[in-house]
Amino acid sequence: MTALLDGARAAAEERSGPGTGSGLARMLAVKIGSAAVTLFVVLVVNFWMFRVLPADPARNLARQTALTAAQQAAINRTFGLGRPILQQFGNYLAQTLHGNLGRSFVDQLPVTEKIGQALWPTVLLVGTSTVLSTIIGVWIGIRGGWSRGSKFDRTSTAFVNVLYSMPDFWLGMVLLITLAGKVALFPDGGMHSFAGAQPGFAGLRDLLWHLTLPCLVLTLVYLAEYSLVMRSSLIDELKADYLTTARAKGLRDDMVRRKHAVPNALLPSITLIMLNLGFVISGAITTETVFSWPGLGRLSYEALNAPDYPTLEGTFLLFSAAVIFANLIGDLLLTVFDPRVRQA
Amino acid sequence: MARSTFRIRLARLTAAGLAACAGLALAGAAPALARSSPPHHGPTTFVVGNTGAVDTLNLFNGFTSQDFEVYGLVYDNLMDYGQLDYQGSPRLATSWSHSADGLTWTYHIRHGVKWSDGQPLTSADVVYTFQRDTVPGSTEFADNEAYVGEIIHSSIHAVGPYTVVMQVRHFTPVMNRLIVSILPQHIWQAVTEKQVSGYANNNPVGSGPFIVSSFHSNQSITLRANPNYWGGKPGIKTLVFQRFDNPTAEKLALANGSIDFAEGLTPALWKSLRGTPGVTLINAPAGNWDELGFNNGAATVSGKPIGNGNPALTDINVRHAISYAINTKELVQKVLLNTGSPGTSYIPPVYTQFHYNPPASITYTYDPTKANAILTADGWKMGPNGIRVKNGKQLTLRLFVRNQSPEQEQDAPYIVGWLKAVGIGVTTTSMSDSVLTADIGNGQYDMFMWGWGVEPNPDFQLSTATCGQRSTGGPPNYTPGWSDSFYCNPAYDQLYHQQQGLDGAARAAVVKQMQKMLYVADNYSLLYYWNDTQAYRSDLFTGFAPQPDKPNGLYLYQEVSWWSYRCIRPVGTSPSLTDHNVGCQHELGAVTASAGGGVNGGLIGGIAAAVVALVAVALFMARRRRFAMADERE
């Protein structure tokens, strides 16, 4: 009986591999730990990078707008620009850890408030288009890759190649001129009609009306990438021995595709999707500019022009954190989907 | 089972994607399809498009031109710049006078003015505002110093409900031009100086002709007319400022009637609107110019030389040769597309009272032969590679160009070519404003291109060429002053201080003398005065009060002035609606033109797009069906 139990335990250990439970925990700890370290490095680099730039924000703003010397002094005083750089760095770290990203040099609004205002428009626009392009792109990739050389494959590949080579600002301008110009089927830009956000269904409809063109541009431009990656990784799998084995076992073609080919071919796409999701909040500067979309891309571009250090630091920190977080999730997802990663 | 699950899942995903896309497109298209009128927004709503937007309604924090455009509509200033002559003009102050020594000033405040919350506006509010603005070191003082710098804080007091008296340390002409926003004491007394920079002021209480009804920071702002405005009820009910990051979209919006006024269009876009039905173009001279700046010998305020400027530029003959070698007329034609005029002196011609117009005998008109002769006479001999040489040194200069200015980037190749033609080598570097500011402050440059926007009061602009505006501090990063040419002439500084104590013709004479001094010294080569290119829907609105005059005055975005807004009215309405308003006596007749395209174009386009979408969906479904059948056959 004991021997039997021991045998069963040994068999279970063999199945699960030596030390898997603690190994998984360790792997998680390492991944989360390295993400945290990366984030801290970003925080440090973020501060010093902008201070290295030879710029006097108060003077720069002043030249554009003819501020008096006293006004410039007031800006410098408000933002502590005259203090020693180490003291500025200490203040920055302490403030950031308390969730305070400082105030904009330009309009003195809290950076968290500025980011908060721009976050939702960006998540709405880039998030929606990322989801749409992922679904459509992966679908086209699977369909085309599986029936490689078919009419659908040839047409879709040509189509997505054309989309892939299109700069988003160019496509945006073309759609804007054709559909929002004289025809005026869609608005010329912005997120709401001039009356501002309206409540209820009318407001939602107005928002969707404004969202359509920029979302269409980003979806079309993004889907090509997913489609091509999915198609080529599926084609790589097509000749794999395990597919022949699966077919030899008598599995239907659809089953072979769904159970064996797609899950393996999906791995590069998962990495790509997670990476792109991380970039969602950094916005799409050119598309946001073409369509006057009040998102984070536009905010960071404006801040760069000023230069508005606190806003830049805030947005860059957010962008970096989002990419680090999405990569972490991607890594963790891969361990779920790919046993090789788990075992490694 | 497995096969059908996969298919169902795939079909669901596809359907979700398609539904989302179709939903977006149809929901989006619905307003256009449902519209039976042009994309216009109602006859009494006037929508202004601009490439900038209001960031903040706290007037001590805002600094963009769009911010000030709105502040001047929500708040009344004590005075305005006159619509026609840029002289101090009544607004809340109906009249003013000063003592014989010019040190005590008395202002008479308009009777019967109310704040937008119904409270009366009295001299107490004016006293409160000026006291608040004159505390040295405060945010408020920093913001208003150009106007209130000479006022003695403790001297400001009211004499009865409609008279304010204040004293100044020295006579200053600024007291005749106090463009200071008057604040309601009952609102602002709750906001301390320390709280000012964090105060949002999103529902401002003002006494101006418009009241804020909704505000989206950095996007759009909607104002409604103040029905009780002392200057008369405005001719429009709603005024909207909408931001366009993309000037092409702004142009399209004006052409299709989504907006009624376009500000900030590039010359090329502005020109492309020519012939658009219902649209009138305005090519208005304004207070702006761009210059080719020279390093005249960078130094600190104490006279210590700094930087690495090419010493050749400290030679006035080299600067003269450059000025003669540049074809400013061609720049106006090719870069500005004739929306400007060649530049000469510091105060632009739009300010007729102060502008110095050099006589033909000393004007730097394009003349490469003369430029060559000047350089040859100065000892610069033509080298074998076409670059002049003197004492073994080649005449090669660095030119720094701002990458934030498309016009100046276009200017650069022309300038390089013209200078090369007279034997001056030029290497150009494109850089950001912040890098250029630092390089200029450190004197590490030869030539650069930048520009200035000049206010009606010439004081500040003239101050930028005084010795005290050279750099301060020490290496490696000097603190830049306003001077970017490092011109320094004690005689000029003396005249600068002299004009500060004069007004009227006497001041104008000194101001012109100072400009002549700069022009002869050639510290800058002024390239051109660039116009403000505006366009509006003349088929829908009329009544503008251009500054300084029609037909080529600024319609909106006037120089620290707001004359038109109160007077704009829909075409077809009676002028009596606004003709009693202050400043509305200079009305423009409507330019009649049909507004083509909008309705039918929109409707036809909408239907066409819907048909295309439906056909696409049908084709897709048919193909899906064929795929499904093929799979089933297998």
Do residues A114 and A105 lie in contact, with contact meaning Cβ atoms separated by under 8 Å?
no
Q: Where is A109: in which H helix or E strand?
A: none
**Partner residue opposite B605 with nearest CB, options A73, A183, A212:** A183
Q: How far is A10 from chain B (nearest CA, A)?
A: 35
Residue of B560, B179, B166, B492 lying closest to B346 (CA atoms): B492
Residues from chain A contacting residue B61 (CB–CB below 8 Å) = 107-109
Residues from chain A contacting residue B58 (CB–CB below 8 Å) = 108
Mean pLDDT of A265-283: 77
Q: Are A188 and B437 inside 8 Å of each other by CB?
A: no
**Distance (Å, whole) CA A222 – CA A163:** 8
Give the C-alpha distances (Å, rounded to integers) separating B345 from B266, B519, B528: 24, 6, 10
Residues from chain B contacting residue A181 (CB–CB below 8 Å) = 252, 255-256
Q: Are B197 and A128 inside 8 Å of each other by CB?
A: no
**Tokens 């609105």 label which residue?**
B541
Convert the pLDDT of each residue in A228-257 to its tens digit: 988 988 888 887 888 888 888 888 878 888
- Order of strands, edge to edge, in the sheet holding B381-382? B381-382, B388-390, B393-394
Q: How far is A254 from chain B (nearest CA, A)?
A: 6
Q: Record the pTM.
A: 0.82
Q: Are B62 and A117 inside 8 Å of each other by CB?
A: no
Residues from chain B contacting residue A308 (CB–CB below 8 Å) = none
pLDDT exceeds cutoff 70 at A62: no
Residues from chain B contacting residue A193 (CB–CB below 8 Å) = 41
Structure tokens at B466: 């005084």
pLDDT at B476: 81
**Partner residue opposite A196 with nearest CB, options B25, B220, B480:** B220
**Distance (Å, whole) CA B265 – CA A48:** 37
Do residues B265 and B252 lie in contact, with contact meaning Cβ atoms separated by under 8 Å?
no
Q: How far is B496 from chain A (nearest CA, A)?
A: 17
pLDDT at B604: 35
Sequence-distant (≥ 6) Cβ neighbours of residue A110 within 8 angstroms: A100, A101, A102, A103, A104
Structure tokens at B86: 């840029």
Q: Are B145 and A53 inside 8 Å of each other by CB?
A: no
Q: At what angle do helices A57-65 and A69-79 cross, to 10 degrees?
A: 140
Interface with B, mutate which of A56, A78, A107 (most B CBs under 10 A): A107
**Distance (Å, whole) CA B373 – CA B359:** 21
pLDDT at A97: 81
The string over B53-89, giving b where at least 16 C-beta atoms fall within 10 Å of a residue's C-beta and e elsewhere, is bbbbbbbbbbbbbbbbbbbbbbbbbbbbbbbbebebb
pLDDT at A71: 53
A149: left (phi over 0), alpha (psi -120 to 50) or beta: left
Pairing of strands B532-537, B279-284: antiparallel
- Residue of chain B nearest A219, judged by CA positions: B21
Q: How confident is the model at residue A44 (pLDDT cuts 50, 70, 90)?
A: confident
Do residues B319 and B294 lie in contact, with contact meaning Cβ atoms separated by under 8 Å?
yes
Residue of B185, B210, B227, B212 lying closest to B56 (CA atoms): B212
Do residues B487 and B521 lie in contact, with contact meaning Cβ atoms separated by under 8 Å?
yes
DSSP SS3 for A48 = helix
**Tokens 């203090």 label which residue?**
A83
Specify the amino acid at residue B270. W
Ordered alpha helix ranges (H), B446-541: 459-463, 490-500, 504-521
pLDDT at B284: 93
Give the C-alpha distances (Å, rounded to integers) separating A252 from A240, A266, A326, B2, B628: 16, 20, 36, 10, 15
Structure tokens at B107: 């202002």
Q: How far is B310 from chain A (nearest CA, A)?
A: 22
Q: Where is A17: in which H helix or E strand?
A: none
Residues from chain B contacting residue A73 (CB–CB below 8 Å) = 142
The string over B174-194, giving b where at least 16 C-beta atoms fall within 10 Å of a residue's C-beta and e elsewhere, is bbbbbbbbbbbbebbeebeee
pLDDT at B189: 94
Residue ranges of chain B with per-residue pLDDT less than 70: 1-40, 550, 576-634
Do residues B352 and B458 lie in contact, with contact meaning Cβ atoms separated by under 8 Å?
no
**Distance (Å, whole) CA B152 – CA A249:** 98
Q: How confident is the model at residue A330 (pLDDT cuts 50, 70, 90)?
A: confident
Residues from chain A contacting residue B293 (CB–CB below 8 Å) = none
Q: Are B255 and A132 inside 8 Å of each other by CB?
A: no
The answer to whether the bond into A187 is cis (omega within 30° of 0) is: no
On whether ipTM exceeds 0.90, the answer is no
Interface with A, mutate which of B138, B434, B439, B620 (most A CBs under 10 A): B434
Sequence-distant (≥ 6) Cβ neighbours of residue B407 within 8 angstroms: B290, B335, B336, B530
pLDDT at B31: 46
Q: What are phi and psi of B110, to 5 degrees?
A: -60, 140
Residues from chain A contacting residue B200 (CB–CB below 8 Å) = 109
Determine the number of helices (DSSP H) and then strands (DSSP E) in chain B: 16, 24
Q: Are B434 and A186 inside 8 Å of each other by CB?
A: no
Do residues A60 and B437 lie in contact, with contact meaning Cβ atoms separated by under 8 Å?
yes
**Would you report the helix, strand and coil content of chain B in percent, each value rounded to 5?**
35, 20, 45
Ordered alpha helix ranges (H), chain A: 2-16, 20-52, 57-65, 69-79, 85-97, 111-122, 128-146, 151-164, 168-179, 200-238, 241-248, 253-255, 262-280, 285-290, 296-305, 309-337, 339-343
pLDDT at A81: 61
Residue of B466, B462, B463 lying closest to B301 (CA atoms): B466
Q: Are A65 and B63 inside 8 Å of each other by CB?
A: yes
**Distance (Å, whole) CA B25 – CA B22:** 5
Question: Exposed (0-12), middle (13-18) or buried (19+): which is B579, by Cβ within 10 Å?
Answer: middle
Interface with A, mutate which of B35, B69, B437 (most A CBs under 10 A): B437
Do residues B158 and B123 lie in contact, with contact meaning Cβ atoms separated by under 8 Å?
yes
Give the C-alpha distances (Å, rounded to integers) separating B489 from B492, B494, B514, B582: 5, 9, 11, 44
**Distance (Å, whole) CA A267 – CA B304:** 66
Q: Are B246 and A292 inside 8 Å of each other by CB?
A: yes
Do residues B479 and B453 lie in contact, with contact meaning Cβ atoms separated by under 8 Å?
no
pLDDT at B24: 52
Question: Exposed (0-12), middle (13-18) or buried (19+): which is B308, by Cβ within 10 Å?
Answer: middle
Q: What are phi and psi of A257, to 5 degrees?
A: -65, -50
Specify the amino acid at residue A242. Y
Do residues B312 and B397 lie in contact, with contact meaning Cβ atoms separated by under 8 Å?
yes
Do residues B163 and B106 lie in contact, with contact meaning Cβ atoms separated by under 8 Å?
yes
Do residues B218 and B243 lie in contact, with contact meaning Cβ atoms separated by under 8 Å?
yes
**Partner residue opposite B24 with nearest CB, options A71, A135, A208:** A208
Residues from chain B contacting residue A258 (CB–CB below 8 Å) = 2-3, 6
**Partner residue opposite A176 with nearest CB, options B252, B450, B634:** B252
pLDDT at B296: 95
Residues from chain A contacting residue B6 (CB–CB below 8 Å) = 254-255, 257-258
Convert the pLDDT of each residue in A120-171 to its tens digit: 999 899 889 989 999 999 999 988 988 888 999 999 999 999 998 888 889 9
Q: Are A185 and B243 inside 8 Å of each other by CB?
A: no
**Distance (Å, whole) CA B584 – CA B596:** 30
Q: Are B606 and A183 inside 8 Å of each other by CB?
A: yes
**Partner residue opposite B245 with nearest CB, options A74, A292, A305:** A292
Q: Are A183 and B441 inside 8 Å of each other by CB?
A: no
pLDDT exceeds cutoff 60 at A94: yes
Specify the amino acid at residue B628. A
- Residue of chain B nearest A182, judged by CA positions: B256
Q: Are A185 and B32 inside 8 Å of each other by CB?
A: yes
Specify the amino acid at residue A276. N
- Residue of chain B nearest A205, judged by CA positions: B27
pLDDT at B249: 93
Specify the amino acid at residue A329. I
A240-248, long-range: CB within 8 Å, 24+ apart, which pairs?
A240/A264
